[in-house]
Structure formats: C-alpha cells, structure tokens
Chain A
C-alpha cells in the first residue's frame, strides 16, 4: 500500500503529457491530439485570445478522433490570455452534440484560474468538468470516464 502510494507520488510528480507531438492538429489557438491512454488533449498556445471561431475549430479537431466511442478531454488553459463570451458559450457544449465524456481544465496562473472559474461557474458545462493544477490528478480523474 505504502509502496503503491510512493509510486503514484513519483509518477504524478513527473507527469507531463501536454507537450504536443509532431502529429498534433494545429489551429490558430490550439494544438490537439489523442493520447495513447485514450484521453484527448488540447493545449492553448501562449497568450491565445480565444474567439468563437477558435472554439469551433478546436471542437472540430477534438471531434476528429471519434471512431464510435466517446472519450475524455484534457484542456491545457495555462497559457490562455482570454476567452470571449461566445467562445465560453460554445465550450460549455450546451445544446450541441459532443463526442467527449468529460473534460479537465489545467490552470496555473491567477489569470487562468479566473478564466477557468468563470467558465465553470457561469457557463456550466453539460458534461462532467473540473479544474486542476496537477496534471497527474487530472489524468487520474479523466480515466474514470474512459
């Protein structure tokens, strides 16, 4: 039990699965790819100012991995500068078809925390969603939706 906990601690401390591989789909504001663990990942570019067009392009990229089974999504919002109202509305999935089972939003700076909290509080996503500042914990949570 103790060994298992130590192993998890070591594993989680050094987890970094949010570097986009060469095969990642690149759009104006995001890189998006499917991880080997079955979790889709999308990473906002540094100082991205996300508009609704960026949000729609991102959803298309995320949906492109669908082959019949829905999957969880990890969103790296640590470098986002802003997300406009319509983009937030689009990301909330309210009233539109989605291929994801859940999503985790990675936040770090005060700015990304404010954006994340706004999104969760006011836009109320229609699939399970949570904010994380620890990547390993986010992956652990997302795996419950695989």
Chain B
C-alpha cells in the first residue's frame, strides 16, 4: 500500500469512527479516480447520511411518544380531578368510597404514563420503583390521623416491564392494597409486604398483610366484589393465576409468565 492509498484508507476509517460516535459532520473525500477507494468513500458518505436521517427520525418519534404519554397522564389526572370535584358536596360515605377507589385505579394507570415519559427507556419501567411509588400513592389516598401501616418490599432489581403488563399489575396491586387498607386493620396499624421475583420464565408477585384476615364464612366466588373480580380478570390478562391464602392475614400470590 503506497502512502497516498494509506492516507485515503486512514481518512475513511476516521470518518467511520466519527459516525460510530454519531458525529455526522465529516465526509470522506472522493478523488474522482473512480477506483475502489472512491467507491468505498462514496458508500461510507451515503451510509452516514442515511444513518443521520434515521437517528433524527428516531429522536422525533421518541419525542412524540413522550408527548403522548404526557398527555395521557394529564387527561387521566383531569378525569380524577373531575371525580373529586363532583364528590365535593356529597356526604354519602359509600359514594365517596367509590370515587376514591376509582381515583386510585386511575392514578395507578397515570403513574405508568408519567414514569414512561420521564425515563430514558420509553418502552419499559423498572418494577421496583413503580411498585414503591404506587403503593405510597395508595397509602396517601387512605391516610388519616392515627393510621400507621408499614410497607416491606422484596423486589428483584432490574425487572423491567412494558405498558401491556404494567397497567394490569398496577391495577392488581391497587385493588389488593386498597382492600388491606379498607378491611385488614381495624386498629389502624399493620404491615403490607410486596414481593416480586423472577424464576426462569415465570414471575411471582406476592402481596400480603398481617391484618385480621378474611372471615371464615367469606367465599371468594360468592362474596367477592368488583375488586376481587378485577384481580382475577387482570391476572388472566397476564396469563397468570391467583391464589389467595388466609393464614396470618391475607396473602395473594399471582404467578404469571415472562412478558
């Protein structure tokens, strides 16, 4: 390889490396000799142009997707606020409870969209952060003076789920934890534990409280309200199964396959 050829090869390599750093300002020179190196230089230049276009287009799509998540979250918050406004002058406790349950369901979905637009990875969210934020949000909604419920988390790190799984998981957690706050702690004290572990292709989500438990006569099939029906329906949506254990409070064990 003579000096001139060596210089041209070096120049092409430098441009390839700058493209690898996503710097598209450089181009390789084309001598007009119509030889192989001119052909390679031309190909590198055009690949750089096309790559730059693709990256710009990808960034625009990401921006658009973030904007959509932001708007969905805002719209869900508006729905939640409307519900609250509508119930401001209502004194009926049953009605107020229904509004709060609906607001919590909406919040669990809004949180997914909020986290999706505020994270680097647009399509997936780390479960540990989502579960912790969601459970604290439910706690806030039930908070009253004297209430002291401790949360314990045992969640595998680096578990990422997409929106198709986050929404049902969020709604399931919301239902179970809301039930605990509503029925498990008559003395306003207790503990709720949430664990999520991966084992090969399956995930095991366990939520349990140390409250008073379900009455002996309670039949899930017969006495289960909308919340329990939702838990079963959403678990099916995850291709999962639900097992309810009544020992030492109430424990829900949901096993579903890898997303």
Chain A positions within 8 Å of B, measured between CB atoms, are 47, 81-82, 84-85, 88, 109-115, 118, 122
Taking a contact as CB atoms under 8 Å apart, the answer to whether A82 and B50 are in contact is no
Closest A residue, CB atoms, query B38: A111
A114 to B41, CA, bound (A): 10
Category for how many chain B residues contact A: 10 to 19
Taking a contact as CB atoms under 8 Å apart, the answer to whether B49 and A84 are in contact is yes
Within 8 Å of chain A (Cβ to Cβ): is B137?
no
Number of A-B contacts (CB under 8 A): 42
A112 to B36, CA, bound (A): 11
Taking a contact as CB atoms under 8 Å apart, the answer to whether B42 and A111 are in contact is yes
- Contact for A118 among B30, B32, B36, B46, CB less than 8 A: B46
A111 to B53, CA, bound (A): 22
Within 8 Å of chain A (Cβ to Cβ): is B39?
yes
Within 8 Å of chain A (Cβ to Cβ): is B4?
no
Taking a contact as CB atoms under 8 Å apart, the answer to whether A85 and B30 are in contact is no
Closest A residue, CB atoms, query B27: A82
6 smallest A-B Cβ distances: which pairs? Answer: A110-B39, A109-B34, A85-B49, A111-B39, A114-B39, A111-B38
Interface 1/0s, chain B 33-54, versus A by CB < 8 A?
0111011101101100110010
Q: Main SS of chain B's interface residues? A: helix
With contacts A82-B45, A114-B43 known, is A122 near B30, CB below 8 A?
no
Contacts of B30 in A (CB 8 A): 81-82, 111
A111 to B45, CA, bound (A): 12
Taking a contact as CB atoms under 8 Å apart, the answer to whether B50 and A110 are in contact is no
Contacts of A109 in B (CB 8 A): 34-35, 38-39
A109 to B34, CA, bound (A): 6
Taking a contact as CB atoms under 8 Å apart, the answer to whether A85 and B50 are in contact is yes
Interface 1/0s, chain B 141-165, versus A by CB < 8 A?
0000000000000000000000000
Contacts of A113 in B (CB 8 A): 39
Question: How close is B145's CB to chain A, nearest CB, in angstroms?
Answer: 66
Contacts of B35 in A (CB 8 A): 109-111
With contacts A82-B42, A118-B43 known, is A112 near B49, CB below 8 A?
no
A118 to B42, CA, bound (A): 10
Closest B residue, CB atoms, query A109: B34
Contacts of B36 in A (CB 8 A): 110
Contacts of A122 in B (CB 8 A): 46, 50
Contacts of B53 in A (CB 8 A): 85
A125 to B135, CA, bound (A): 55
A110 to B30, CA, bound (A): 12
Q: List 18 A-B contacts (CB under 8 A).
A: A47-B32, A81-B38, A81-B42, A84-B49, A85-B46, A85-B49, A85-B50, A110-B36, A111-B34, A111-B35, A111-B38, A111-B39, A114-B39, A114-B40, A114-B43, A115-B42, A118-B43, A122-B50
Question: How close is A117's CB to chain B, nearest CB, in angstroms?
Answer: 8
Taking a contact as CB atoms under 8 Å apart, the answer to whether A110 and B38 are in contact is yes
Taking a contact as CB atoms under 8 Å apart, the answer to whether A81 and B39 are in contact is no
Taking a contact as CB atoms under 8 Å apart, the answer to whether A112 and B45 are in contact is no
A84 to B39, CA, bound (A): 14
Most A C-beta atoms less than 10 A away, residue of B35, B36, B42, B45: B42
- Contact for B34 among A84, A85, A112, A118, CB less than 8 A: A112
Residues of chain B in range 33-83 having any CB-CB distance to chain A below 8 Å: 34-36, 38-40, 42-43, 45-46, 49-50, 53
Closest A residue, CB atoms, query B31: A81
Most A C-beta atoms less than 10 A away, residue of B34, B35, B43: B34
Contacts of B32 in A (CB 8 A): 47, 81
A85 to B57, CA, bound (A): 15
Contacts of A112 in B (CB 8 A): 34
- Contact for B46 among A81, A110, A115, CB less than 8 A: A115
